[in-house]
Amino acid sequence: MGGGRRRHRPRAAARPGPDRDLRAAAPRGRHGRRDRRPARAAPATRRLPAGAPGGAAVTDDRGRDAAEAVTWGVRVAAAWSWRLILIGLGVYVLADIFGRVQLVALSFVIALFLTAILHPLERRISAVIGRPRSLSAMLALLFGLAVLTGVGYFVGWQINTHSDQLGNQITQFVDETKKWLQTGPLHLKSSDLDKITKNITHTIQAHQGELISGAIATVRTVVEFLTALLLILFATFFLLRDGEQVWRWVLRLLPRTAQARVDVAGRVGWHTLGGYMRGQLLIALFHGVTVTILLFVLRVPLAGALGVLIFLGSFIPLVGLTVAGALCVAVTILEHGLTAGIVIAIAIVVLVQVEGHVLQPWIMSRSVAVHPLAIALAVITGTTLAGIVGALLAVPFVAFVNSTVSALRRATVVVAPDVQHGDPIEPDGPVNVQVPEGPA
């Protein structure tokens, strides 16, 4: 018996029964296992008395969960509400932090935009001279400074040369306006004009203290401007030299599961920002050169300075070119009369149409196109938050956010986040990520 083999009896087939049928019909989970969780009891029912109206069974809701009574629409609205509240709270906190460090934040943003413009030049210089990157970044930055310095010197020379002539024209215009007020349809008396002049003088004397305070504030503004200028130059140099390392440091602050997708979206947004800034630079240059040539032909004083004003105004969509053009028209009317002013006004209108129907579709791709309503809201918001600088930076920021969010939504990442990518603007090698094509 001890050395014999143990014979295994075949297991008898399970007999069908009510318990067996219930187990077979039990719901199964994600991996095919039976769900052993206790089933939720159905609501109890009770019968009404025989004489009660209706005589039907009534469901007793005392055993149900209160959350089950909330409709699907209310649940969706609640989910959206608390998420929107968190987003609004985050935006408020960021805006408060931005307001406290506005000088530093604006300086860094301007440095980012300058880097987007100068980076192709830095790459070409680096390809010619090779290493180190510090030399190519310094040469690109010096080139940008030389261009800005040359433009500033030209504007100063124009103002210094034609200031006396323009001052005489303004004096003559004021005298003609005073004469028109006396002999025109208003028929103002000389005593009335003298009273207006005295009121203006009295107002200036009464607010003399405020004017002095304003002068002190102007000195403080100059100091802040110089500080911001140094910070912009410092940040631009290091972004040109170490932009890739800075971007990788930012990625390491994020969870590893989100690094690859944010990397793709950030590179797409950076490419869009660079394309927008360089395209807008070409459009503004076209406007400035065209208006300057026309003003020189009409012999308008400060033609070069007004052309630079048109160039800067072109960076503010919808309103910048219009406001700068209105100033050009006013100066032209002072110098050469109404006819020449009308010619300049027509030229400004033609330039606006050429920009909207020819230059924008040709120079800029569809990926940086932003709806006019979004542009208007962005310009107003930027002006409210940071003045003229905010108006200049608002639309590029909206274009960057638009392309980044779209790429983040559509990106399909097929690589680990530790793979070494190339440059954040134009990768040196094949970047093993997939971004679906289409307008951003």
Q: Which residue has the higher pLDDT, 151 or 365?
A: 151
- Between 26-35, 77-86, 213-222, the lowest mean confidence (pLDDT) is in 26-35
| Residue-wise DSSP of 101-127 | THHHHHHHHHHHHHHHHHHHHHHHHHH
- Rounded distance between C-alpha atoms, residue 251 and residue 421, angstroms: 12
pLDDT at 89: 94
Residue 225 CB coordination number (10 Å): 11
The CB-side HSE value for 150 (13 A sphere, CA atoms) comes to 6
Interval 223-231 mean pLDDT: 86
Domains of the chain, residue spans: 104-163+213-434
Is pTM beyond 0.85? Reply is: no
Strand partners, 58: 46
pLDDT tens, residue by residue, 295-338: 888 888 778 888 888 888 888 877 888 888 888 888 888 777 78
pLDDT at 39: 53
Please, are residues 236 and 115 in contact by the beta-carbon 8 Å criterion? yes
- Rounded distance between C-alpha atoms, residue 78 and residue 72, angstroms: 10
pLDDT at 1: 47
Tokens of 245: 């390392």
- pLDDT at 84 exceeding the cut of 90: yes
Residue 95 CB coordination number (10 Å): 11
Tokens of 342: 């009308």
- Rounded distance between C-alpha atoms, residue 296 and residue 276, angstroms: 30
Of the spans 153-162, 183-192, 232-241, 388-397, which averages the highest pLDDT? 232-241
Interval 130-158 mean pLDDT: 85
pLDDT tens, residue by residue, 229-285: 899 999 999 999 888 899 999 999 988 888 888 898 888 888 888 888 888 888 888
Q: Which residue has the higher pLDDT, 370 or 313?
A: 313
Burial status of residue 122 (CB atoms within 10 A of its CB: 0-12, 13-18, 19 or more): buried
pLDDT at 85: 95
Residue carrying the six token digits 């800034």: 277
Q: Which residue has the higher pLDDT, 86 or 212?
A: 86
Task: Give how far the C-alpha of residue 400 lies from the chain's centroid of Cα atoms, to the nearest Å.
Answer: 6
Please, are residues 34 and 26 in contact by the beta-carbon 8 Å criterion? yes
Q: Give the confidence band of 83 by pLDDT, cuts at 50, 70, 90.
A: very high
Q: Which residue has the higher pLDDT, 22 or 319?
A: 319
- Rounded distance between C-alpha atoms, residue 43 and residue 96, angstroms: 52
Please, are residues 265 and 407 in contact by the beta-carbon 8 Å criterion? yes
Please, are residues 188 and 182 in contact by the beta-carbon 8 Å criterion? yes
Interval 25-49 mean pLDDT: 52
Tokens of 440: 């951003």
For 141, phi and psi rounded to 5 degrees?
Answer: -65, -40
Contacts 24+ apart (CB under 8 A), 166-170: 166/301, 166/302, 166/331, 166/334, 169/301, 169/334, 169/335, 170/334
> What are the distances in angstroms from CA 79 to CA 90, 91, 240?
17, 19, 43
> In this prediction, what percent of the chain has a pLDDT beyond 90?
8
As a whole number, the mean pLDDT across the chain is 75
Q: Give the confidence band of 225 by pLDDT, cuts at 50, 70, 90.
A: confident
